[in-house]
Amino acid sequence: MSNKFKRLTSIRDLKLMADVIREDIIISLREAKSGHSAGPLGMADILTALYFNILKHNPKKPNDKNRDRFILSNGHTCPVLYATMANAGYFKKSELLTLRKLGSRLQGHPHRAALPGIETTSGPLGCGLSQAAGMALVFKREKTKQKVFSIVSDGEQNEGNHWEAVLFAAKEKLSNIIAITDRNYIQIDGNTEDVMPLDSLKKKYLAFNWNVIEINGNNMQQLISTLKKARNNKDKPLMIIAKTLPGKGVSFMEGDYRWHGKPPNKDEAQAALNDLHKKECLERGDWYHLHQKLKPIHKKIKRSKK
Amino acid sequence: MTTKQYDLSKLKGLNKSMYLNFNQENKANRSGYGDALVTLGKRNKNVWVCCADLTDSTKVDKFAKTFPNRFVEMGVAEQNLVTVGAGLAAVGKIPFVSSYAAFCPGRCWEQIRTTICYNNQNVKVIGAHAGVSVGPDGATHQALEEIATMRSLPNMIVIVPSDYTQTKKATAAIAKFKGPAYMRFGRTSTPQFTTKQTPFQIGKANILKQGKDVALIATGALTYEALRAAAILQEQGINAMVIDNPSIKPLDKKTILKAAKKCRHIITIEEAQVTGGLGGAITEFLSETHPTKVTRIGMPDCYGESGDPQELLKHFGFTGESIARKARKLCKK
């Protein structure tokens, strides 16, 4: 199938689109007055790469049989999905202002029946990969070409259901699954490695018989080249561990787990938009070192909360 | 343990249009499910079956052998079982996801809620080995709560077929129905009394025997015990109506209301907790439309235990004798 919208091919254009999507996330969250900030901002580059370059999809025909499937397993990050879909042409951007409001198609967690283009309802964690696996199994057995992309958060990998799906996808050798872990090291109660340690995720997936690639999920160049290659993935399911900076692009949100589940107030939204306009978000350096630097600050915040 | 035989064909007021036949061998409902799946699989290439390491005992082995490309072995992982099922349905398949009812839907209620029911995916959840008649495995394996938990989910329908032949029909009917469905049955072989001609429809209860003193409304294999109770009551001069009620949701309100208007007492009979199951559905409905005294026979807020299936049914008051005793007491009041 052909994509019926302007596919962005230059890294510069893709980066600009990611920042537009970040602005839309801030605006829709400010309007909604509730919702998650950090995750969506951190994932904006991945979603941009998928919807504007990698995925075979058609915003005007969201039910096209031959489309690739994209499953957002960590449904709470849906502001980034909505902002991306709106920019890709699934619906008018003005609808982003209805996020989380009564009667809106943009439910607080994405709902399949509410909005064409949403492949599945998600929110309760750990179920996305299973559904992706179900779809991928049919495509594999019926020898059709669609790929199934799924983003899972790191925190949601505390869920047993997720690991059942990991076992299953490996057993069925679902090489048409391209899963992406949004590895941002935060969850609601704090740092993922404090709440329920996951590292080394890479070793875990290798042990579970998956192919694994680690990348910087905020580096558009890396994202595009990795995801392009991923289309030719063979023999085993593929997990791309994409290290992202939560709150990416907004200086006072970056790396701060307290922004996991809250929206910006009026002043914060203005400050966030100023940040994004200034493009201060680019090239912050290695995410992991930043994360380590922030760790003592997290602890301080935790103590002061008590 | 043997139970007293009654010639049920001599029941007065048997509904001829039900084409009942009491001279059939006992068979397990789960075999009806397994046999129906093979027929369905031939007719409809979109029918898939997923099973969580219980292929033989949920009787999906024949389907697995006949259609290996549409059978999925999930291992002991019921959460993944139903969510993979949701994924299959999302690309147009009609997956039957089978396990013991204690584990599925027992273990994966939220996944069924979100990914199947709220998502409105065409998944058929099959709970085998439900009820105390599972027997020696004991309470952990005797699912008693899932009628209630499944019934409370919007979009979900709940079907509990009464015998082998009806299970075959129910399997075909839920495959045809577009949307989430839950079907449950027990482990043991139970009497067959319906035939090919007996009507079956989702949302329809069948009056098997007319009566006026008390209405026995049963679901699942216990419907046969309700018929036995009616035979006992007949000897005692009590004319019981017997209703076979496989469709717990949607409920056949018309037939239930008819029974409530005709009989002074209603007894509901199910091998499940009395809270929220068939008894729950009928009391909810009648209390709003035609307040009627309803006695619920089921598990009275307790768990089962190990034992021989027949012994357990007797112990927990599910036999025709026990049902008849309760009915007689009510009618004497």
Mind listing the pLDDT tens digit of every residue in chain A (306 residues)?
A: 545 567 899 998 899 899 889 999 999 999 999 999 999 999 999 999 999 999 999 999 999 999 999 999 999 999 999 999 999 999 998 899 999 999 999 999 999 999 999 999 999 999 999 999 999 999 999 999 999 999 999 999 999 999 999 999 999 999 999 999 999 999 999 999 999 999 999 999 999 999 999 999 999 999 999 999 999 999 999 999 999 999 999 999 998 889 998 999 988 998 898 888 764 333 433 333 434 444 554 454 445 444
The verdict on B214 and B260 lying in the same domain is yes
CA B281 to chain centre: 14
Q: Which residues in chain B are closer than 8 Å to A158, comparing Cβ atoms?
A: none
- Are the beta carbons of A164 and B85 separated by less than 8 Å? no
The answer to the question of residue A273 being in a domain is: yes
Same-domain pairing of B62 and B157 = yes
Residue B284's pLDDT is 97
CA angle A182/A234/A160 to nearest 5° reads 40
Q: What is the pLDDT along chain B (333 residues), one digit of tens a residue?
A: 457 889 999 999 999 999 999 999 999 999 999 999 999 999 999 999 999 999 999 999 999 999 999 999 999 999 999 999 999 999 999 999 999 999 999 999 999 999 999 999 999 999 999 999 999 999 999 999 999 999 999 999 999 999 999 999 999 999 999 999 999 999 999 999 999 999 999 999 999 999 999 999 999 999 999 999 999 999 999 999 999 999 999 999 999 999 999 999 999 999 999 999 999 999 999 999 999 999 999 999 999 999 999 999 999 999 999 999 999 999 987
Residue A5 lies in a domain: no
Kindly list the distances between the CA atom of residue A8 and the CA atoms of A19, A69, A219, A244, in Å, as whole numbers in the listed order: 14, 19, 16, 22
Cα gap B234→B169, rounded to integer Å: 30
- Residue B56: CATH number of its domain: 3.40.50.970
Predicted-complex ipTM score? 0.94
**Which residues on adjacent β-strands are paired with residue A149?**
A70, A178
User: For every residue of chain B, which 3-state class applies, written as one string?
Assistant: CCCCCCCHHHCCCECHHHCCCCCCCCEEHHHHHHHHHHHHHHHCCCEEEEECCCCCCCCCHHHHHHCHHHEEECCCCHHHHHHHHHHHHHCCCEEEEEEECCCCCCCCHHHHHHHHHHCCCCCEEEEECECHHHCCCCHHHCECCHHHHHHCCCCCEEECCCCHHHHHHHHHHHHHCCCCEEEECCCCEECCCCCCCCCCCCCCCEEEECCCCEEEEECCCHHHHHHHHHHHHHHCCCCEEEEECCEEECCCHHHHHHHHHHCCEEEEEEEEECCCCHHHHHHHHHHHHCCCEEEEEEECCCCCCCCCHHHHHHHCCCCHHHHHHHHHHHHHC
Asked whether residue A31 is domain-assigned, the answer is yes
Closest-approach residue (CA) in chain B for A130 = B84
Instruction: Check which CATH number belongs to the domain holding A202 and give it.
Output: 3.40.50.970
Do residue B128 and residue B46 come from a single domain?
Answer: yes
Same domain, B174 and B281: no
Confidence at residue B67, expressed as pLDDT on a 0 to 100 scale: 98
pTM of full prediction above 0.90: yes
| Residue A2 resides in a domain | no
User: Between residues 100 and 119 of chain B, which touch chain A (CB distance below 8 Å)?
Assistant: 110-111, 114-115, 118-119
Based on the domain organization, do B246 and B271 belong to the same domain? yes
Peptide bond into A200 cis (omega under 30): yes
Residues B134 and B65 in one domain: yes
* pLDDT for res A303: 52
Same domain assignment for residues B185 and B151:
yes
Determine, yes or no, domain membership for B206. yes
Residue contact A131–B83, C-beta within 8 A: yes
Q: Looking at the 3D structure of chain A, how many domains does it have?
A: 1
Check CB contact under 8 Å for B84 and A124: no
Are residues B203 and B162 located together in one domain of the fold?
no
B97 plus B175 within the same structural domain = yes
Catalytic residue positions of B, numbered: 78
Residue whose C-alpha is closest to residue B188's, from B12, B24, B29, B21: B29
**Closest chain B CA to residue A120:** B119
How many domains are there within chain B?
Answer: 2
Q: Hey, are the CB atoms on A164 and B80 less than 8 Å from each other? A: yes
User: Residue B131's domain spans which residues?
Assistant: 27-190
Chain A partners of B74 at a C-beta cutoff of 8 Å?
168
Which of A76, A107, A118, A127 to probe the B interface (max B CBs under 10 A)? A127
Q: Is residue B201 domain-shared with residue B72, that is, in the same domain?
A: no
Q: Report yes or no: B69 at the A interface, CB cutoff 8 Å.
A: yes
Inside any domain, residue A226? yes
* Residue B301 and residue B229 share a domain: yes
* Cβ contact B114–A167 (<8 Å): no
Query: Would residue A6 count as lying in a domain?
Result: no
Range of the domain at A267: 11-305
